[in-house]
Amino acid sequence: MDEMKKFQKNFVNGVVNGNLSEYLESKIIPVGSLNQKQVLQVYTNDYYARLTEALGESFEAIWAVLGDEEFFKVCHEYIKKYPSSYRELGELSENFPIFLEECDLQQEYPFILALANFEKDFWSFFHQAKELPRKDITSLSMEDFLSTRFKFAQNIKTYAWDYRVFALWKLRKEGLDGFEGDIDQDQNLILFKTTGLVEASEVSNAQLIVLHRLIDGRNIEEAIDEVDITSDEISSLFSLLRNSNLIVDF
């Protein structure tokens, strides 16, 4: 282990556990009236503050649901269990949903794991390169349109929740006081990114079934076969596919 890695390992361990090892004490330079232990405490406070701020930016909806005190407590426990160096700050949120699942929070907030995974997926899509469409499906005749098998953009994910997760997420900045209705309702969603922006659209159960079949390689006629779907649902689904550029090839 080279000296830089050795210092980083000892430093993170010292900050997280409040342990000033002999090695670390020999490397930390006292500042003004502060001794090595006090300097380490300053770094500790800064470390937790920075990482909590980063988690707060990635999980705004979780923060809104838990409130400041509980969210900061959860972040502190998470950071202690999954310590991260500043070089790895972008990967800090990787295990956060797993940690929430390990906590007792699901008993009080049964939707919290789904909400955390959605926020994680959102930012993952946000940082992915945009994917441009290659062909215009409006050039197809109706007959060809119904029989064609489409290739979809890679940056697409679907959700079928037992709770109104997306409704909660949309209120993450203004607060949950504006939430209306019952949280215990099914909600289906498509999350996607094609031309630059991350977008989401709610869909019905029938639309979700048809979309999954299309993504699996069936044509439209096969996808809607024996699905209890209305003409309006079909029209709005394919309007979404066309306008969002989710179909990249056929």
Query: pLDDT for 39-60, tens place per residue?
Result: 666 667 777 888 889 999 999 9
Beta strands in 70-186 (DSSP E): 151-152, 156-161
Last residue of a domain, one of 55, 90, 123: 123
Residue 114: predicted pLDDT: 96
Q: Which of 92, 123, 154 is the last residue of a domain?
A: 123
Radius of gyration of the chain (CA): 24
> Same structural domain for residues 82 and 103?
yes
Q: Which of 123, 139, 164 is the last residue of a domain?
A: 123
Same domain, 142 and 65: no
One domain for residues 145 and 90:
no
* pTM, full prediction: 0.82
The pLDDT value given to residue 141: 77
pLDDT digits (tens, 9 = 90+) for 156-175: 999 999 999 999 999 998 88
User: Alpha-carbon distance 77 to 96, whole Å?
Assistant: 11
Is the pLDDT at 87 greater than 60? The verdict is: no
Residues 214/152, Cβ–Cβ less than 8 Å? yes
pLDDT of residue 229: 94
Q: Please check the confidence at residue 132 and state whether its pLDDT lies above 80.
A: no
CB 187 within 8 A of CB 164: yes
The Cα 147–Cα 53 span in angstroms is: 50
Lowest mean pLDDT among 92-106, 138-152, 189-203: 138-152
Q: Are 103 and 156 contained in the same domain?
A: no
| pLDDT tens readout for residues 14-47 | 566 666 555 565 656 666 666 666 666 666 777 7
Q: Are residues 93 and 136 in the same domain?
A: no
Same domain, 198 and 222: yes
* Claim to verify: residue 14 and residue 72 sit in the same structural domain: yes
Residues 237 and 207 in one domain: yes
Q: How many independent structural domains does the chain possess?
A: 2
Tell me, yes or no, whether 243 and 137 share the same domain.
yes
Of the candidates 233, 212, 232, the residue with the CA atom closest to the CA atom of residue 223 = 212
| Bridge partners (DSSP) listed for residue 189 | 159, 202
User: What confidence score (pLDDT) does residue 103 get?
Assistant: 85
| Whether residue 77 is found in the same domain as residue 134 | no
> Which residues span the domain enclosing 10?
3-123
Mean pLDDT (whole number) for 89-114: 87
Of all residues in the chain, the percent with pLDDT exceeding 90 is 43
- Are residue 59 and residue 163 in the same domain, yes or no? no
Q: Are residues 44 and 136 in the same domain?
A: no
CA 142 to chain centre: 38
- Please list the residues that pair with 202 across neighbouring strands: 189
Q: Over 70: is that where the pLDDT of 8 sits?
A: no
**Per-residue pLDDT, 225:** 93
pLDDT of residue 28: 63
Question: What is the average pLDDT value for the chain, to the nearest integer?
Answer: 83
Q: Are strands 187-193 and 151-152 parallel, antiparallel or unpaired?
A: unpaired
